[in-house]
Amino acid sequence: MPPAVRVRIAPSPTGHLHLGTARTALYNYLYARRNKGTFVFRLEDTDEVRSQENYTQDIIDGLKWLGLNWDEGPDIGGPFAPYKQTQKIDHYTEVANKLINRGHAYFSYETPEELAAMKEAQKDTDIAHRYDNSHRNLSKDQVEKYVAEGRIPSIRFKIEEPRVISWHDNIKGEIAIEASVLGGDMVIVKSNGVAIYNFAVVVDDIDMKMTHVIRGEDHIMNTAKQILLYEALNHQVPEFAHAPLIFDLDRAKLSKRKHGEAVHINKYRVDGYMPEAMVNYLAAMSWTLPDGKEFFSLPEACEMFDLYKISKSPAVFDVQKLNWYNAHYIRSLPIELITERAKPYLTLVETQTYSSSELEQIVGSVRDGLTMLSEIMGATEFYFAKKLQITDELKEKALSKDSAKKVLEATLKHLGDFPFGDHAGCKAVVDKLGVELGLKGKDLYWPLRAALSGKVQGPDLGAIISILGPERVKSRLEDILCLCA
């Protein structure tokens, strides 16, 4: 029986959670759930210069927001703490020493200046930049000389050439890489004792018994190097799957430099996107349900996910498409949930002074017109306003005709007929008044909309009247009638 599936997301806390990393996390999560496996979260935090605690928190918050809960963590820091590479620095050194003892790695004593000079000398040649492996076979005397000079060595792993490294990739199919393009013997532990990514990742994936490594295709060259390390450590190579990268509509890779905050999950979290929409869109970018259904939930995706069906072609991020998904979820998720999520965006409102049912009605009346929840304050402000601002433009547009006054007066007169609390019932009363006055369309609705909401577009008029209630409708109509007089 094959071993139980174990997969991981292994971001480096050197930036906010990127859309591409979130999508990789999602694929790993789905694969684990589909196969009743284990999803692990590991922070690759060995880059001591660029790693930051606030990025760690952002990545944790982003994964939790998306609902991609991981199944294991270290014993410290609570159930949601990720594994961290910095917690096992000494272990990497031990494994590196093992590689030295077995003849797969060696101490390399070049100074940064010497390495820079090597790079410079290769600049005008046909050779792509690579380490020339010159410290692979240093004599005892040379080593003693370097040590006497006080040089601190790094540890390099031998990349033997010629050799073709090949594997069957679960997304991309057969891949073959010539070892000579890998840049020569590679540093695995820097002179300051810190293991570099390509080495630490292999040690960790072995220690954590990973069966599948699912990640972005920008790691293909790394995979070739990592396969050599697995071999040198006498360990079975996991299955690899490299997902296509995400591009923008102009076919440029999504990057912080070009697209700014739009590449970070955090931006969408803050702007009031629904995690359900983000998950659905990220999954749907390169994968479709067998029945082609466009809207699907995380649990549905877990049941149906098929790694081998992920498209090989680049994924395209189109914010309009994401907005379309988001508007769908804002419209269709339970109103209690949307109202709860909307509360932080109702910044000018003391939401605790309203009952849940009042807030749900208010949110419910506008949600069809929202792309993201951060728009909700603007859309609902008129419900909460003490006094509406009526601009000259609005007066001209909706209140200048004689018929406008008639509509407002008739509504005031028949206020007792309105079944407040019943949106459709309130709308029916307006339409009945319209028949009596011989008015319809803009002539009937716009004066009321302008008087009650300060604009001519917005939620259903019946909902506006029904939610505002008799007192506020009365005082708003009276205020406007003074203005029209």
Annotated active-site residue 256? The verdict is: yes
Amino acid residing at 64: K
Q: Nearest distance from residue 201's CB to ligand GLU, in Å?
A: 5
Closest CB to ligand GLU among 240 and 445?
Answer: 240
Q: Nearest distance from residue 62's CB to ligand GLU, in Å?
A: 13
Q: Nearest distance from residue 425's CB to ligand GLU, in Å?
A: 57
Closest CB to ligand GLU among 256 and 413?
Answer: 256
Amino acid residing at 201: V
How many Å apart are CA 26 and CA 285, to the nearest integer?
A: 12
Closest CB to ligand GLU among 114 and 231?
Answer: 231
Q: Which residues pair with 247 in a beta bridge?
A: 253, 316
Closest CB to ligand GLU among 259 and 328?
Answer: 259
Binding interface with ligand GLU (CB under 6 A): 10-12, 44, 201, 215, 219
Cβ contact 163:110 at 8 Å: no
Q: Nearest distance from residue 215's CB to ligand GLU, in Å?
A: 4
| Three-state secondary structure readout of the chain | CCCCCEEEECCCCCCCCEHHHHHHHHHHHHHHHHCCCEEEEEECCCCCCCCCHHHHHHHHHHHHHHCCCCCECCCCCCCCCCEEHHHHHHHHHHHHHHHHHCCCEEEECCCHHHHHHHHHHHHCCCCCCCCCCCCCCCCHHHHHHHHHCCCCCEEEECCCCCCEEEEEECCCEEEEEEHHHHCCCEEEECCCCCECHHHHHHHHHHHCCCCEEEEEHHHHHHHHHHHHHHHHCCCCCCEEEEECCEECCCCCECCHHHHHHHHEHHHHHHCCCCHHHHHHHHHHCCCCCCCCCCCCCHHHHHHHCCHHHCCCCCEECCHHHHHHHHHHHHHHCCHHHHHHHHHHHCCCCCHHHCCHHHHHHHHHHHHHHCCCHHHHHHHHHHHHCCCCCCCHHHHHHHHCCHHHHHHHHHHHHCHHHCCCCCHHHHHHHHHHHHHHHCCCHHHHHHHHHHHHHCCCCCCCHHHHHHHHHHHHHHHHHHHHHHHHC
Q: Nearest distance from residue 219's CB to ligand GLU, in Å?
A: 6
Q: Nearest distance from residue 31's CB to ligand GLU, in Å?
A: 13
Q: Nearest distance from residue 26's CB to ligand GLU, in Å?
A: 13
Q: Nearest distance from residue 189's CB to ligand GLU, in Å?
A: 17
Closest CB to ligand GLU among 8 and 427?
Answer: 8
How many Å apart are CA 116 and CA 110, to the nearest integer?
A: 10
Task: Out of 119, 256, 258, 309, pick the active-site residue.
Answer: 256
Closest CB to ligand GLU among 10 and 450?
Answer: 10
Q: Is 468 exposed, middle or buried (0-12, 13-18, 19+ CB in 10 A)?
A: buried
Closest CB to ligand GLU among 244 and 447?
Answer: 244
Closest CB to ligand GLU among 17 and 398?
Answer: 17
Q: Name the token pair of 401.
A: 């005709």
Which residues are part of the catalytic machinery?
Answer: 256
